[in-house]
């Protein structure tokens, strides 16, 4: 299985250990898909890297896009307050990504709490 399908084979002693392994693997997969796994490895040491780390929590923003945003706007505060048109003007950030960012950053209170 490991060689042909590149599937890691985990050995368990009993049913309980098998269940624990399955739950652990499920949790890891969820974290990886949500992008949280890549952000939690090490805390950035420099202020510049901390700024990029913060921007990467925005939808559709990876390390490259975060760096371009910082180059264009100079600070996280200016990135977060920039209108969608200015965000979309940054290389690699289109209109859809800019709109998603604005939707997360703008505060629109709802009577029943946050809605997706």
CA–CA dist 96, 65 (Å, integer): 14
pLDDT tens string, the chain, 116 residues long: the values are: 567 767 777 788 899 988 988 888 888 777 777 655 555 556 778 888 899 999 999 988 998 999 999 999 999 999 999 999 999 999 999 999 999 999 988 876 655 555 55
CA–CA dist 25, 2 (Å, integer): 16
Whether 66 and 57 have beta carbons less than 8 Å apart is answered as no
Architecture of domain 47-105: Orthogonal Bundle (1.10)
How confident is the model at residue 23, as a pLDDT? 87
| Domain regions of the chain by residue span | 12-39, 47-105
Cβ neighbours, 10 Å, residue 20: 11
How confident is the model at residue 41, as a pLDDT? 59
């Amino acid at each position: 299985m490991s060689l042909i399908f590149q599937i890691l084979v985990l050995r368990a002693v009993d049913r309980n250990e098998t269940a624990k392994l399955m739950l652990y693997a499920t949790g890891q997969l969820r974290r990886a898909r949500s992008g949280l796994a890549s952000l939690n490895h090490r805390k950035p040491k420099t202020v510049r890297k901390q700024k990029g780390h913060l921007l990467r929590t925005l939808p559709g923003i990876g390390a490259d896009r975060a760096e371009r945003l910082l180059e264009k706007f100079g600070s996280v505060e200016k990135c977060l307050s920039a209108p969608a048109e200015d965000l979309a003007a940054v290389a690699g950030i289109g209109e859809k990504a800019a709109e998603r960012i604005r939707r997360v950053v703008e505060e629109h209170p709802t009577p029943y709490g946050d809605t997706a």
